[in-house]
Amino acid sequence: MTARDIAPATGKLGILTPGLGAVASTFIAGVIAARKSGEEPIGSLTQMANIRLGERDEGRNPKIREFVPLASLDDIVFGGWDPISANALEAARTCGVLEERDLAPISGELEGVVAMDAVFDQRWVSKLEGTRVKTGSLWEQAEALIDDIERFRVDNGCDRLVAVWCGSTEAYREPSAVHETVASFEAGLKADDPEIAPSQVYAYALIQSGVPIANGAPNLSVDLPCMIELAEARGVPIAGKDFKTGQTLMKTILAPGFKSRMLGMRGWYSTNILGNRDGEVLDDPENFKSKEVSKLGVLDTILQPEVYPELYGNIDHVVRINYYPPRGDNKEGWDNIDIFGWLGYPMQIKVDFLCRDSILAAPIVLDLALFMDLAHRAGESGVQEWLSFYLKAPQAAGETPAEHDLFIQQTKLKNTLRWMMGEEMITHLGREYYDD
């Protein structure tokens, strides 16, 4: 196999986050702590995972970051937009994810990540009141974002830029006619079409500026025909949507296990309490709907009820999120899973995950940014399905169903890296160890 032609990761990489809240500030603080005081970037494949190459007995198992040319943490510069947070330090202190003992030594760097004024419209996030916002028509706001991006690139001497949406979840809407083509979307921007959400204005401006973008929230942004068309035309990688953390991570770890042993399922009830700003936004039914749709799709695609109606044809799948301020960012997710086995005898599994949302999401932001930058340098554009590993509602090619099984997604990710570098795919067949 021949390796792809991949441009080297030299110079600075700017990582832009529309949204400078809990996830973005925890991500930025963690990267700064890793490069300043050597904290381990736990949870990040790009920094910590190894990848097997060749046959099992060859012993080739390098770190991913030594195998593929990734930007170094030392070369990252941070930027972002937010209608409320002034800078990353204020955002980190407000959300309360990290303790002062972790923030104090890096407070200067965090304060230096100053939020640019946001494209914001309260119609899409009714619980928030944004003050640091752009004005003018949607077209003018898109142009202002393009100016911000260019200014950031020049001021920080960046070689390359990449973006990860870390903004609030927007109200649920189906795609409409304005999202069909680049031409209809641009006409919509000029006409202030009410179906265009702020996240879509960012997506448009970033892709137009040649900046890859991944969407960490469940609302539509890059998974629209117009954005796919634009990304392909501009040669820009895109990936959506919704960081796979917490309960959905558990679901995509457990469900493939039940299915692999042909255990049946009658129901899966998931409920959460969380008290951060994300929880407050999701307390609004319009915003929760975006999350619900993204969370519910997972089980069906993993369990394939159409193939196994006797095992998975009659599942009650319920997902609830309750805003409960005392918990802050430290979410508690309960799952009650009703399964059945031999002769239909029922069993129950209870999972009580006391997790920390932003602690789980921060390494995903880092990996998505570094892998999107890699894909761009490797000449990839459009939907990056191999990054579905990190996403709750991943994009897939055309009408192809997305893959949700975490372990298949991991194989896909690692095989994509092998393919980029001209290494053999690993099938785990293992016949070669027995044949002479």
Ligand X SMILES: NC(=O)c1ccc[n+]([C@@H]2O[C@H](COP(=O)([O-])OP(=O)(O)OC[C@H]3O[C@@H](n4cnc5c(N)ncnc54)[C@H](O)[C@@H]3O)[C@@H](O)[C@H]2O)c1
How far is 21 from 304, CA to CA, in rounded Å? Answer: 36
Q: Indicate whether 388 belongs to the interface with ligand X (CB under 6 A).
A: no
Residues 6+ apart with CB under 8 A from 142: 119, 189, 201, 204, 205, 208
Closest CB to ligand X: residue number: 21
Q: Indicate whether 328 belongs to the interface with ligand X (CB under 6 A).
A: no
Q: How much of the chain is helix, strand and coil, in % rounded to 5? A: 45, 20, 35
How far is 281 from 222, CA to CA, in rounded Å? Answer: 21
Q: Indicate whether 23 belongs to the interface with ligand X (CB under 6 A).
A: yes
Position among 70, 103, 138, 166 found at the interface with ligand X (CB under 6 A): 166
* Nearest Cα to Cα of residue 387 among 248, 239, 244, 247: 239
**Terminal C-alpha separation, the chain:** 24
Position among 125, 178, 299, 339 found at the interface with ligand X (CB under 6 A): 125
Task: Quote the tokens at residue 145.
Answer: 């974002």
C-beta of 264 vs 333, nearer to ligand X: 333
How far is 248 from 232, CA to CA, in rounded Å? Answer: 30
Q: How far is the CB of 314 from ligand X (least distance, A)?
A: 29
Segment near ligand X (CB under 6 A), from 40-48, 120-128, 204-212, 428-436? 120-128
Position among 243, 268, 323, 389 found at the interface with ligand X (CB under 6 A): 243
Phi and psi of 181, rounded to 5°? Answer: -135, 165
Position among 358, 384, 409, 411 found at the interface with ligand X (CB under 6 A): 358
How does DSSP classify residue 430?
A: -
Position among 15, 16, 22, 236 found at the interface with ligand X (CB under 6 A): 22
C-beta of 179 vs 277, nearer to ligand X: 277
Position among 9, 15, 16, 20 found at the interface with ligand X (CB under 6 A): 20
Q: How far is the CB of 64 from ligand X (least distance, A)?
A: 22
Cα separations (Å) of 224 from 147, 208, 389, 425? 24, 15, 20, 31
Q: With beta carbons less than 8 A apart as the criterion, state whether 116 and 81 touch.
A: yes
C-beta of 273 vs 361, nearer to ligand X: 361
- Window 170-209: contact mask with ligand X (x via CB under 6 A): ----------------------------x-----------
How far is 406 from 253, CA to CA, in rounded Å? Answer: 6
Segment near ligand X (CB under 6 A), from 105-113, 136-144, 237-245, 310-318? 237-245
Segment near ligand X (CB under 6 A), from 114-122, 320-328, 333-341, 419-427? 114-122
Residues 6+ apart with CB under 8 A from 119: 81, 133, 134, 138, 141, 142, 144, 145, 198, 201, 202
Q: Indicate whether 250 belongs to the interface with ligand X (CB under 6 A).
A: no
Q: Indicate whether 315 belongs to the interface with ligand X (CB under 6 A).
A: no
How far is 247 from 267, CA to CA, in rounded Å? Answer: 15
Position among 164, 189, 360, 369 found at the interface with ligand X (CB under 6 A): 360
Q: Indicate whether 81 belongs to the interface with ligand X (CB under 6 A).
A: yes
Question: Rule CB under 6 A: which of 252-311 touch ligand X?
Answer: 276-278
Q: State the Cα angle at 281 between 276 and 284, rounded to 5°.
A: 135
Q: Which amino acid is at 18?
A: P
**Greatest C-alpha distance within the chain:** 72
C-beta of 234 vs 241, nearer to ligand X: 241
Residues 6+ apart with CB under 8 A from 52: 60, 61, 426
C-beta of 9 vs 110, nearer to ligand X: 110
Q: Indicate whether 85 belongs to the interface with ligand X (CB under 6 A).
A: yes
C-beta of 97 vs 311, nearer to ligand X: 97
Position among 14, 79, 216, 363 found at the interface with ligand X (CB under 6 A): 216
Residues at the site binding ligand X, with contacts judged by CB under 6 A: 18-23, 81-85, 95, 118-120, 125, 128, 166-169, 198, 216-217, 242-243, 245-246, 276-278, 357-358, 360-361
